[in-house]
A and B are shown apart, each in its own frame.
Chain A
Amino acid sequence: MSIEFEAPKPVVKMQTVLQTVAENMMRSVSREFDENEHTIPWDYIEFMHTAMRSMGGGSLAPQEEKPKEDAEKRPPIGYQMLAAQIEMLSWGDVGMYLVTPGGGLGAAAVQAAGSPDQKAKFLARFADKKPTFAAMCMTEAGAGSDTSAIRTRAVLDEKTKEWVINGEKIFVTAGDKSFTEYEKSGKGFIVVWASIDPSAGRAGMRAFVIESGTPGVQVTKLEHKMGIRVSDTASISLVDVRVPFENLLGSPTVEKTTKGFKGAMATFDATRPLVAASGIGVARAALEFVKEKLKENGVQIRYGLPRSKLTSVERDVIDMEIMLRSAWLMVLKAVWMADNKKPNALESSMSKVKAGDVTTKITQKVVEILGPLGYSREFLAEKWFRDAKITDIYEGTGQINRLVVARQILGYSGAELR
């Protein structure tokens, strides 16, 4: 090992390909889908699905390395690749990235908490002919950041060996596409977090895979949002939903541990840097745009000067570049650790804290610098401003991730620092 910053060649290649996709399939329709909330960009979905299948998978998921003879010589780069893909697609349009088929957070939960059998069973579908979606349902009206407060219950029916699930989930990204079968989509699933023993608190929490079309599940609402409007955010009600015993991810016995909850946290360790990457894509789009506009208007950024000699706009641009690059390096470190199987809870949350900060700051500053052009819907800057804000909210708000970072560096438990 040593310290190195050369992007792996396959990653660079992929970025070049995806930039073309981003320009031609995303940017070109970005505004249209933003203005027509709840319409589905099937062209993009089908294009991406076909492209991913032809590359051997059906998902934007870290490809499992097949053991090769020269395996030693090539360190794993699955998560690094994924972060780069997500950054580039989000540079195109982050809302559309979120409707990329292939399982999203639902598949990530199966990856993190499922057994090998479960992974094989539930993840195979994403390589099928039709684009297929999956979602993760944690949040409830009364339980957002405080996931231990979820009320959704799963009770085992001893006779049929089925789980019976009741509850109400909200804010489910791709919840509609994952559960409602469209003519053009395959059979997806939702992963629902529920308690099998409310007296056990977090230790009683488990994730269940619920196949699309299962009776008792209903998509009751699609939210109208500030940004990422092309991505559906659904409310899902669960009334006496019967789920096969083996659809519980992980172990069904409640121990006096927080294993169940740790499954959710393992998912977040893997997904937080990826959410950070998506925010950084948006911020990069905004920063590149403002630099281009400044250049068109004859404003040069004089790099190399001492701070006191720079104009305010020059300072802003330079600060944004510092923020953006350093945030991206934090993502790279977190995913590099994931690839190398190093525990990365700290780095993962740190990258999310930083990305939440810089993506909101950069997009807000860009709108300001652009003046009326920034505020106008003629350009995408105002949309990026709206889209970027979600980075600091989902997958743990900025505050929740600060808590995680603080606990890590202080060596505190959740009880010691809440």
Chain B
Amino acid sequence: MYSFEPNEEQQMLIDAVGKYAENDLRAAAHDAEENREIPKKLISKGWELGLLQASTPESYGGFGERSAVTGALAVEEMAFGDLAGALAVMTPSLFATPILLGGSEEQKQQYLPDIVGGDWAPYTAALIEYAIDFDPTALKTTAKADGDSYILNGEKAFVPFAKDAEAMIVYADLNGVTQGFIVPKNAGGLSVSDEREKLMGLNALPMYRVKLDNVTVPAINRLGGASGHDFDLILSSMRIASAAAAVGLAKASLEYSKDYAKEREVFGVKIAQKQAIAFMLAEMATEIEAIRLLTWEAAWKLDANKEDACAEAYLAFTGACDMAMMVTDRGVQVLGGHGYIREHPVELFMRNGRGFPMLLGLAIV
């Protein structure tokens, strides 16, 4: 059957996350971006919503099952508040969710109960590389088997909270396929840049470069153990998360510009009464809904183990990148000159909106 209505549990989650996103994340977003810092308290409050906990089984310290659909719903709501804040709150998932999806039993036992049971702690992952032709399925960072170990070499970029990370998953090319490796804090040869990344947007989220110079990890640290894991599944979960975040961000831009358009007067009428504005808003709403549904379907297919789930996750992500740019650009346009001023959030939405094609790997459901 088709059905387009979140179930009761999901609706409760949406409401709770939505409240936090609007009252806490959004309220703090402007200053966080300007000061390049998200208050620790804010992150803790978001962590206490229990998104990761609710998608981790009881046997590993959580109280639920992972569902990409539920995850997508939550990420959309979070990102509606503020993208940087949302990504910060969910950073530990970058480490925990791949373990849930592809980790060995030992890895699950070793890491999940601590992460899920404790306060928010900087566990993270390193996927992105600083290259014009960055492609998560053809990484330049390499892993080489060496007896009972793997040796990692390369350089990673945009790694959130790398500076204080307890541990991170580093993705590297192992004989032509991407695989994740658990790299603990203080591993020899691992170095994190002192300087934070300086980007067009997302300045509140602390991100770093990470160098791997002959970093040696035991073979059991390969995600999934000796036989490794299905990277497609992880990549698809990342794509769905990114797409859902794009939907949330775009919705934020639409809502803000829509409210503004009903207030602002020109030539004796509200600008929303002019078709040039009204049609932009209608198209923004239409494109957001289109990608939301595509993201939901991809997530549902992933949960239901459908053959074409990964293909559709790719389509949803690709479509979301364009949609986010189109919508957030118009969000600024609706406000005119005022949209260009940093007092209004639409210019931040637009700067963040351009990021999705390069920020794959900063969220996962």
Contacts and interface: CB of A to CB of B under 8 A. Distances in A.
Interface string A305-326: 1111100000000110111011
A416 interface: yes
B285 A80 contact: no
A332 B132 CA distance: 39
Interface string B252-287: 000000100110000000001101001101110110
Contacts of B262: 410
B294 to A, nearest CB: 4
A3 B300 contact: yes
B130 interface: no
Nearest to A358: B290
A412 B273 contact: yes
Nearest to B358: A306
B7 interface: yes
A321 B137 CA distance: 22
B289 interface: yes
Nearest to B316: A322
Interface in A319-352: 319, 321-323, 325-327, 329-330, 332-333, 336-337, 347, 350
B286 A309 contact: no
A200 interface: no
Contact of B311 (A2, A303, A309, A323): A303
Interface in B194-217: none
Contacts of B285: 350, 405, 409
Contacts of A75: 1
Interface residues of B, number: 49
A308 B132 contact: yes
A402 B290 CA distance: 15
Given A3-B69, A405-B285, A409-B282, A416 B319 contact: no
Given A8-B2, A308-B132, A325-B315, A405 B291 contact: no
A409 B293 contact: no
Interface in A1-54: 1-8
A306 B282 contact: no
B272 A417 contact: yes
Interface string A65-105: 00000000001010010000000000000000000000000
B297 interface: yes
A307 B357 contact: yes
B315 A405 contact: no
A353 B283 contact: yes
A399 interface: yes
B290 A326 contact: yes
A403 interface: yes
B135 A309 contact: yes
A5 B297 contact: yes
B273 to A, nearest CB: 5
B273 A417 contact: yes
B258 A410 contact: yes
Contact of A306 (B10, B286, B289, B357): B357
Interface in B310-325: 310-312, 314-316, 318-319, 321-322
Given A4-B1, A322-B315, A403-B275, A329 B290 contact: yes
Interface centre among B1, B134, B291, B300 (most CB of A within 10 A): B1
A337 B4 CA distance: 9
Nearest to B6: A3
A2 B3 contact: yes
Contacts of A402: 275, 278-279, 282-283
Interface in A117-143: none
Interface centre among B132, B291, B297, B301 (most CB of A within 10 A): B297
Contacts of A330: 286, 289-290, 293
Interface string B292-334: 0110110011001000001110111011011000000000000
A354 interface: yes
B343 interface: no
Contacts of A318: 315, 318
B92 to A, nearest CB: 25
A5 B303 CA distance: 11
Nearest to A411: B262
B148 interface: no
A42 to B, nearest CB: 36
A77 B311 CA distance: 28
A371 interface: no
Interface of A: 1-8, 75, 77, 80, 303-309, 318-319, 321-323, 325-327, 329-330, 332-333, 336-337, 347, 350, 353-354, 399, 402-403, 405-407, 409-410, 412, 416-417
Given A318-B315, A318-B318, A354-B290, 18 more contacts: A3-B4, A3-B5, A3-B69, A3-B296, A4-B1, A4-B2, A304-B310, A307-B357, A323-B290, A329-B296, A329-B297, A330-B286, A330-B290, A405-B285, A410-B258, A410-B261, A417-B272, A417-B278
The 7 closest A-B pairs by CB, nearest first: A326-B290, A406-B278, A329-B293, A322-B319, A405-B282, A1-B5, A2-B7
25 contacts: A1-B3, A1-B5, A1-B6, A2-B3, A3-B5, A3-B73, A4-B1, A4-B3, A5-B300, A6-B2, A7-B2, A80-B2, A304-B310, A306-B134, A306-B135, A322-B318, A323-B319, A329-B290, A332-B2, A336-B4, A337-B4, A403-B279, A406-B282, A410-B278, A417-B272
